[in-house]
Every structure is written in C-alpha cells, then in structure tokens.
Amino acid sequence: MSKQSVHGTTEQHGGHGSLKSYVIGFVLSLVLTIIPILALENGWLDSDKRLIIYLVAALFQFIVQLFFFMHLKEEDKPRYNLMSLLLGLFIVFLIVIGSIWIMMYNMVAL
C-alpha cells in the first residue's frame, strides 16, 4: 500500500505499479507460458528432463504475478501480506509434499 493512501490524498502512480511494470509483467508471463508449450510440442530433451522446464517456468510465472501484478514488494514495512503468504506456502508444501510422500510409502495400501 502506498503512503499516499494513508494520508488520504489523491493517488498518483504511487504504490500500484506503472504501465511499464504491468507491460513488463505481461510480456514475461507470456514468455513463461510459451516456453513450456514449445518444450512440450517440440519434445525438447527427454520427457523426464522436460518436467524441470515446466516447474521452473511455473515458479517464475508465480513470482512474476506476485511482484508485477499483486505488488507484494511495494508493501509497507510490517510485511503482514508477505508473512501470511509464507505461512500459506508452508502449509501448501506440507499438504502437497506430505500427501505425495505418504502415498508413495503407504505399503498397506499397495
């Protein structure tokens, strides 16, 4: 959030990004979508190594969306949004990785 809104004055380009940052974010997000599509359609590397391309592209896409569109970096000092996001991501990893791990080593079900 920008300082302007705290002081109640009309907002300039302050905390919500500029046209430039939105365009850069949009172009990056398009590129990060085209890369996995090209990798899939043209069969780059072999199918196991391609997974790394997909996951890295998705991770960067996530970061681009957070910083260029959701303005995570422009938050004021007590970074509560960032902290809650980190807690959220921690729970995500716990659920997703935990589920995969437990289903892979669940000898009773197998």
Partner 1 sequence: MANVNAGHHDHHPDQEELRTFAFWIYLMTDVILFATLFATYIVLQGSTDGGPGPKELFQMNGIYASTFILLTSSFTSGLAILAMNKGNRLALMNWLGVTIFLGASFLFLEINEFIHMVSEGATIGTSAFLTAFYTLVGTHGLHVTLGIGWMIIVIMQIAKHGITPVTKRKVNIISLFWHFLDVVWIFVFTIVYVMGVN
Residue 76 C-beta-side C-alpha neighbours within 13 Å: 7
The distance of closest approach from Cβ of residue 32 to partner 1 in the complex, given in angstroms and rounded to an integer, is 9
In order, the DSSP letters of 15-46 are TS--HHHHHHHHHHHHHHHHHHHHHHHHT-S-
Decide: 72 and 17 in contact? Cβ < 8 Å. Answer: no
Task: Report how far residue 53's alpha carbon sits from residue 39's, in angstroms, rounded to the nearest whole number.
Answer: 8
Q: How many residues bind partner 1 (CB under 8 A)?
A: 54
The distance of closest approach from Cβ of residue 54 to partner 1 in the complex, given in angstroms and rounded to an integer, is 5
67 belongs to the binding site for partner 1 (CB under 8 A): no
The distance of closest approach from Cβ of residue 73 to partner 1 in the complex, given in angstroms and rounded to an integer, is 14
Q: Which of 64, 57, 61 is nearest to 22 (CA)?
A: 64
Which residues in this chain contact partner 1 in the complex, by CB under 8 A?
Answer: 1, 3, 5-6, 8, 10-14, 16-19, 22, 25-26, 29-30, 33, 36-37, 40, 47, 50-51, 54-55, 57-58, 61-62, 65-66, 69-70, 76-78, 80-81, 84-85, 87-89, 91-92, 95-96, 98-100, 103
